[in-house]
Amino acid sequence: MSTATVSRALSSPDRVSEDTRARVFRAVEQTGYTLNQAARSLRQRNSRTILVALPDIGNTFFSVVLDAIEREAVLRGYSVLVANRFAGHDSGRRLHEYFLSNRADGLLLLDGSVPLESLLALAAPPAGVPLIMACEDIACAPFHSVRTDNEFAAEVATRHLIGLGHRGIGHIRGPDGNVLTEEREAGYRRALTAAGIAIRPEWILPAGFDMQQGLAAAERYMALSSRPSAMFAANDETAIGFLSGLRQHGLDCPRDVSVVGFDDLAFAAHFWPPLTTMRQPREALGRIAAEALIDLIEGEPRRRVPRHTVLSSELIIRGSTRAFAPASQRPAPVV
């Protein structure tokens, strides 16, 4: 029996006779044969592997998205390569190395800070690498994308605080240069403006997406001469760090300050106080992005028009927000 027949028996069983098929399967079973993926990749010019590039796997937000991506990929018969801390001076070169080399058939990019020109070069012929941006989109980039409606969600979060009677509402910003930072701040501003509340720039505290920065933001908050009674934090980690910092200064949430986060990490519900937050559908983000990428890889002909999928976030009200009460009406602090 020739190798050609064996190959056909394994990859398109209905093209060989029943007898042959049975013999091949039996032989495979007995000898423990597995096909050499490298040889197949070389010949077929694909690898049935996707590359997921993200800024920080260690961050629980991304790791849950990655979880969903991996699950969907395996379902569709793909392996998952991860590239962590992707953005950086050499991200263009790294992209180049991963593709045009039959290592991965497509790129799932969870990092909006990769230089657009590298991506354009990658997605354009002759490389023509299928590419999906997820979570962090690059504005106006001509790629398919899957994300949440950050601006609207931020507006909803801020409106929630307004609805509770707060008028002094500050914002803890994400890292500079991140799309999400801008979108969430824009939503925050929009909500205030719509409610006729003036924006006080000194109440927009620079921070980042991690707890340390949230902690630092608490210091800035304490240093304010006049302090807002509520804060909308760019994400849950920042909110948690901020609350932790407030506590060190003897302030209590929600008695003294109401705080809304963003993401609804698993920890948010068990934190004290349980965090009011905008839930991002992280599993759905990952799953839909992976689906879209694999469709793009397998689809013929390639869909040219970028499709932007926008998922919505959900306000989860917990204990970290409460109706505004003037300082005089608040219970005395417990010592």
Partner DNA sequence: AAGGGAAATGCAATCGATTACATGCAGCCA
Partner DNA sequence: TGGCTGCATGTAATCGATTGCATTTCCCTT
Task: Kindly give the pairing relationship between strand 276-279 and strand 314-316.
Answer: antiparallel
Q: Interaction with DNA in 63-82: which residues (CB under 7 A)? A: none
Closest CB to a copy of itself among residues 34, 225:
34
Concatenating the DSSP letter of every residue in 194-231 gives: HTTPPP-GGGEE---SSHHHHHHHHHHHHH-SS--SEE
Structural element, H or E, at residue 272: none
Query: Could you tell me the smallest distance in angstroms from the CB atom of residue 295 to DNA?
Result: 20
The verdict on 76 binding a copy of itself (CB under 8 A) reads: no
The verdict on 300 binding DNA (CB under 7 A) reads: no
- Beta bridge partners, 63, equal none
Which amino acid would we find at residue 139? Answer: A
Closest CB to DNA among residues 12, 225:
12
The verdict on 103 binding a copy of itself (CB under 8 A) reads: yes
CA–CA gap between residue 310 and residue 304 (Å, rounded): 19
Strands (E) located in the chain? 49-53, 79-83, 106-109, 131-134, 144-148, 169-172, 204-205, 230-233, 258-263, 276-279, 308-311, 314-316
List the x/- string, 316-335, binding to a copy of itself by CB under 8 A: ------------------x-
Concatenating the DSSP letter of every residue in 79-128 gives: EEEEE-S--STTHHHHHHHHTTTTS-SEEEE--TTS-HHHHHHHHSTTT-
- Which residue of 6, 9, 16, 49 would you call a contact of a copy of itself, by CB under 8 A? 49
List the x/- string, 199-218, binding to a copy of itself by CB under 8 A: ------------x---x---
Q: How many residues bind DNA (CB under 7 A)?
A: 24
Closest CB to DNA among residues 101, 226:
101
100 binds, among DNA, a copy of itself, none (CB under 5 to 8 A by kind): a copy of itself
CA–CA gap between residue 93 and residue 264 (Å, rounded): 35
CA–CA gap between residue 168 and residue 198 (Å, rounded): 9
- Which residue of 60, 113, 118, 309 would you call a contact of a copy of itself, by CB under 8 A? 60
Closest CB to DNA among residues 4, 140:
4
Closest CB to DNA among residues 2, 30:
2
List the x/- string, 272-311, binding to a copy of itself by CB under 8 A: x-x-------------------------------------
Phi, psi of 216 (to 5 degrees): -65, -35
The verdict on 255 binding DNA (CB under 7 A) reads: no
Conformational region of residue 88, where left means phi above 0, alpha means psi within -120 to 50, and beta covers everything else: left
The verdict on 33 binding DNA (CB under 7 A) reads: yes
Interface ranges with DNA (CB under 7 A): 1-5, 7-8, 10-11, 15-17, 19-20, 33-36, 39-40, 42-45
